[in-house]
Amino acid sequence: MIEQLSPSINDYELIDCGEGEKLERFGRFVVRRPEPQAIWRKSLGDREWLRADASFLRDAKSKSEDRGEWRLKPEMPSRWIVGYDYRDMHLRMRLALTSFKHVGIFPEQAANWNFIYDSVGELRRKGIERPKVLNLFAYTGGATLAACAAGAETTHVDSVKQVVTWAKENMVQSSMDGVRWIVDDAMKFVQREVRRGNRYHGIILDPPAYGRGANGEKWVLEENICDMLECCASLLAERDAFLVFNLYSMGLSSMLARTAVHQAFGAPQMEQMGELYFEDRSHKQIPFGTYYRFRR
C-alpha cells in the first residue's frame, strides 16, 4: 500500500511554495530557497516572501543549480538550533546556511525518525538489549540520533568529514553519546562489513543521486544501488530487523524502490512505501522524497 506521510514538527513549517521556490520556517527564522518541484504559482505576495530572514541566490556561473550564496537580514545568525520531540526522543540539531542551499536537516525525514525509534524500541521489547543499527549516507545524523535515543548501538557512515563533525555536534546538543562514527565511502564500508561477517538489526539507507566517497570514489544511484542493496541484505539479520530506504531523485517511485528491495532481500512481513511531503498554508502539497521501509 502506498502511503503519503507528513510529520508534525513544531520547529518547521512550509509557509508557501511555487514558481521554483519554497518559503520555510526553521525555529523562529524564515528562509527562502529554490525548489524545482514547486511548478505552480505562489499563493502569498512578494511582501511576504521579502520578509524572509535568509534568501538563497543561485550562482549564475556555476554548473550546479544548487550552488550559490545566502543574502541575510541583520538579525539572521549563521547558525541556530531547532528541536524535534517524539515520545521520549528529544533531538536538538544545529542548522547552518550552506553554499548548496541546504541548512543541515531534511525535516520530512522526521516521519522515518519516528519509525526508527519505534522499531528499535520494539526490538528491545523482544529481548534484544542493544540492537545494532547502521546508518549509511548518514549526513547530519537525524536518523542516527533517533536510533541512539531508542537505545541502539548505532554506526554512522558518511564520506564527508565535516558532515560527520556536524553530526557529532548534534549528538552533543541532544545530550547523547555512544555513536560509532565512520568517515568512509559507504559502498567500501559495507563490502568490508560483509567480509567480516557482521550483522545489524536495522539499516538506514539514504543515498544521493550522485556523490563522491572519502577518497574520490564515484557514486551514481542507478549504477550502484543494486550492489549496495545486495550488501545490505547480507548485513541485515534474517529476523527481528528493519530497513529504511530513501530516494530523492525526481522520477524514482516507491514502487521502484520496493522492486529493488524485494530482489535483494525477498518479500518482508510488513512493508510501507510512499512519499514524504509537506503542505503549505494554502494547502499545496509538495513531495520531498520517496521512502520504502520494512520490518521482519
What grid cell was written down for 266?
525477498
pLDDT (average), residues 148-165? 98
**Backbone φ, ψ for residue 41 (5° rounding):** -85, 155
The arithmetic mean of pLDDT across residues 153-177, rounded, is 98
- Residues 219, 113 share a domain: yes
Q: Are 26 and 156 part of one and the same domain? A: no
Q: What is the pLDDT of residue 97?
A: 97
Within this chain, do residues 54 and 154 fall inside the same structural domain, yes or no?
Answer: no
What average pLDDT does range 62-88 have in this prediction? 92
Q: Domain holding 35: CATH number?
A: 2.60.40.1180
Report yes or no on 95 lying in a domain: no
SS3 content of the chain, % helix, strand, coil (to 5): 30, 35, 40
CATH number at residue 228: 3.40.50.150
Domain check: are 204 and 57 in the same one?
A: no
Average pLDDT over residues 163-182: 98
- The C-alpha atoms of residue 123 and residue 160 are separated, in whole angstroms, by 31
Judge whether residue 1 has pLDDT over 80. no
The answer on 253 and 189 residing in a single domain is: yes
Task: Give me the chain's average pLDDT, please.
Answer: 96
Residues 31 and 159 in one domain: no
Residue 61: what pLDDT?
74
pTM for this model (two decimals):
0.96
Total number of domains in the chain: 2
Place of cell 564527508: 160
Asked if the structure places residue 86 within a domain, the reply is no
Same domain for 251 and 143 = yes
Query: Are 13 and 114 found together in one domain?
Result: no
Per-residue pLDDT for 19 more than 80? yes
pLDDT confidence of residue 28: 97
Residue 7: pLDDT over 80: yes
Q: Which domain holds residue 18?
A: 7-79
Residue 209 counted as domain residue: yes
Beta strands in the chain, from DSSP E residues, in sequence order: 2-5, 12-18, 21-26, 29-34, 54-58, 68-72, 79-86, 89-96, 132-136, 153-158, 180-183, 202-205, 210-212, 218-220, 242-247, 270-279, 285-295
Mean pLDDT of 27-37: 97
Task: Judge whether 84 lies within some domain.
Answer: no
- Look at residue 255 and tell me if it is in a domain: yes
- 146/210 same-domain check: yes
Average pLDDT over residues 96-117: 97
Residue with cell 558518511: 158
pLDDT value at 4 more than 80: yes
Is the alpha carbon torsion for 207, 208, 209, 212 positive or negative?
negative
pLDDT of residue 2: 86
Compute the distance between CA of residue 28 and CA of residue 285 in angstroms, rounded to an integer: 22
Residue 143 domain-assigned (yes or no): yes
Residue 90 lies in a domain: no
66 band by pLDDT with thresholds 50, 70 and 90: confident
Contact present, 28 and 7 (Cβ < 8 Å)? no
What's the pLDDT score for residue 169? Answer: 98
39 with 133, same domain: the answer is no
Confidence band, pLDDT 50/70/90 cuts, at residue 250: low
Same-domain pairing of 170 and 280: yes
Give the strand order in the sheet containing 21-26.
12-18, 21-26, 29-34, 54-58, 68-72
- The pLDDT assigned to 149 comes to 98
Claim to verify: residue 39 and residue 126 sit in the same structural domain: no
Least confident of 38-42, 56-60, 195-199, 231-235: 56-60
38 inside domain: yes
